[in-house]
Amino acid sequence: MFSKILIANRGEVAVRVIRACKEMGIKTVAIYSDADSTALHTEMADESYCIGGPLVKDSYLNMRAIVTLAKRVGVEAIHPGYGMLSENPDFAQMCEENDIVLISPGAEVMRRMGQKEMARETALKAGVPITPGSPVLKDAEDAFLWAERIGYPVILKARAGGGGKGIRIVRDKDQLISSLEQVKKESASSFGDDAIFMEKYLENVKHVEVQIIADKAGKVLALGDRDCSVQRKNQKLIEECPAPALSEEVREKMYEAAINLAKECGYVTVGTVEFLLLKDEFFFMEMNTRLQVEHSVTEMVCGIDIVEWQIRTAAGVELPFIQEDIAHNRHAIECRICAENAKSFAPSTGTVELLHIPGGVDVRFDSALYQSYEVTPFYDSMLGKLIVCSDTRDGAIRKMKSALSEFVLVGVDNNRDMHMKFMDNVRFVVGNYDTGICQKVL
């Protein structure tokens, strides 16, 4: 097992990883930017070092500075968290070349599954259903030809995209050129790669994902499924485990598909396979080769510390449990608490003047917030995740309503009231909602 790990991230996920390391007896090294000098993760870690200026490109994305520091302080591994460098194969390669373990599936798997057209090819080889789609588009003429072949509406996707960026829905040929230019521009700016491909756009679908974990001996397990259909502009807002509209027959097929895909690409550690569900048919969307923001909601149901076992499997420890050991008889819901204006949804900043975190049985708040903490404009707007668990879905909804009513954050605009609307929405309560629910609730 590793004795010292550097966390190449910030905020809630850095705190989450540090907590897991403390329980495992592993020393931790935190990095921070000038803007994060008073951040919670810098106080919790055994060692903390400033890595650069407030912009992520100067600090949390500065690969060379991070690896140089890791070698200097003598860490054996780096945990990338989620976002930032967590799915960057060049960073994984740099770590490998410097004899540092990046807690991830490795550079080769990241490249294969991170470039979406290669991921689709891998899914096909694994027998996983995919939607009709194109290779990387050569130019506008090529885009028109593929759109006619696939049939409108289509969706343009950045090859290296993620986090809801680099995506545009195109409903007719008049929108195609402008959408293509927008996606290419956004992709080049966000990911340094303007390669675009096209898929058939499926409407009125549910977004369901399977959490997998794999060890170096080749064992792959499905820890559970999540419904992530409550989204605004492709950004997830609420997740629940298990997906309420999934039949046991479809669930088993989806688990089998996710496991087969992981085996096909030689996956190790924690990952997520995302699907689009249309009635009883599902289609591969993408694979996230990292820890997911919403891993917490699965932990509450399966009873396994996903971060702990991510670290253990990266160190070569074999999984001691089998698929039949994974619990799935409870229900959990997660609400992402974000700093945003309640009307415009624009990101909000400010100082936390008052903070009250809800408590009680099976109530959890994963966050790096504390009273007097300053929310700056430099980073993602998510402040934390409120998670509850109960024996039934109805019980989980009631518990979430209670927890939200108790949550108090003064000084920074946030979306607590928005989540309360969902907990009272008939479609959400019944469980038959799809990715269009935000348009009806907000």
Instruction: Tell me how crowded residue 135 is: count the other CB atoms within 10 A of its CB.
Output: 14
45 beta partners: none
Of the candidates 290, 312, 330, 364, the residue annotated as catalytic is 290
How far is the CA of 38 from the CAs of 10, 11, 48, 91, in angstroms? Answer: 11, 11, 11, 27
Cis upstream peptide for 153 (omega within 30°): yes
Cβ density class 431-442: b for 16+ within 10 Å, e for less: eebbbebbeebe
How far is the CA of 431 from the CAs of 125, 235, 295, 427, in angstroms? Answer: 33, 19, 20, 6
- What are the tokens at 263? 């085996």
- What are the tokens at 176? 């195609």
Kindly state the DSSP code that residue 201 receives in the 8-state scheme. P
290 is annotated as an active-site residue: yes
Residue of 442, 394, 396 lying closest to 419 (CA atoms): 442
How far is the CA of 117 from the CAs of 28, 100, 178, in angstroms? Answer: 37, 29, 22
Strand 331-338: give its sheet, edge to edge: 281-288, 269-278, 206-214, 220-232, 235-241, 331-338, 382-390, 363-367
Contact criterion met (CB below 8 Å) for 59 and 10: no
How far is the CA of 377 from the CAs of 13, 36, 235, 373, 380, in angstroms? Answer: 18, 12, 18, 13, 8
- For the CA atoms of the chain, what is the radius of gyration? 21
Residue of 419, 403, 380 lying closest to 14 (CA atoms): 380
Kindly state the DSSP code that residue 191 receives in the 8-state scheme. H
Contact criterion met (CB below 8 Å) for 85 and 91: yes
What's the CA gap between 212 and 347, in Å, rounded?
32
Residue of 299, 135, 314, 136 lying closest to 214 (CA atoms): 314
Q: Is 408 helix (H, G, I), strand (E, B) or coil?
A: strand
200 beta partners: 154
Kindly state the DSSP code that residue 244 receives in the 8-state scheme. T
Task: Give the residue numbers annotated as catalytic, written as ranges.
Answer: 290
